[in-house]
Amino acid sequence: EIVLTQSPGTLSLSPGERATLSCRASQSVSSNYLAWYQQKPGQAPRLLIYGASSRATGIPDRFSGSGSGTDFTLTISRLEPEDFAVYYCQQYGGLPRTFGGGTKVEV
């Protein structure tokens, strides 16, 4: 099983700042099949990024994903008030599919 470790656990930033979230895998993620999701309180998760760097439909271009192999990054270039949420990475290159523990981006 591929274990995904997200860091930091909590990121305290202000609107307009840049957020950099890390996701490290215990082994290489096949074909860089790594996705990022955003979850706000009381809501279901929403797909942001798939294939490590492809934005999902309707996702603003301030969200970008990068990385390969075992190290992946989600960057939010300039935080908007609606971006404060919890972010999860997930690998779908191997079975079982696994999620990271999440990073909370807070004001």
Are 12 and 107 in contact, with CB atoms under 8 Å apart? Answer: yes
- Of the candidate residues 35, 76, 85, 105, the single one contacting other proteins (CB under 8 A): 35
Check binding of 59 to other proteins (CB under 8 A). Answer: no
CB of 19 to other proteins, least distance (A): 19
- Indicate the burial class of 24 (C-beta count within 10 angstroms; 0-12, 13-18, 19 or more): middle
Q: Report if residue 95 touches other proteins, rule: CB under 8 A.
A: yes
Euclidean distance between CA atoms 97 and 74, whole angstroms: 19
101 near other proteins (CB under 8 A):
yes
What residues make contact with other proteins under the rule CB under 8 A?
A: 33, 35, 37, 39, 43-47, 50-51, 56, 88, 90, 92, 95-102
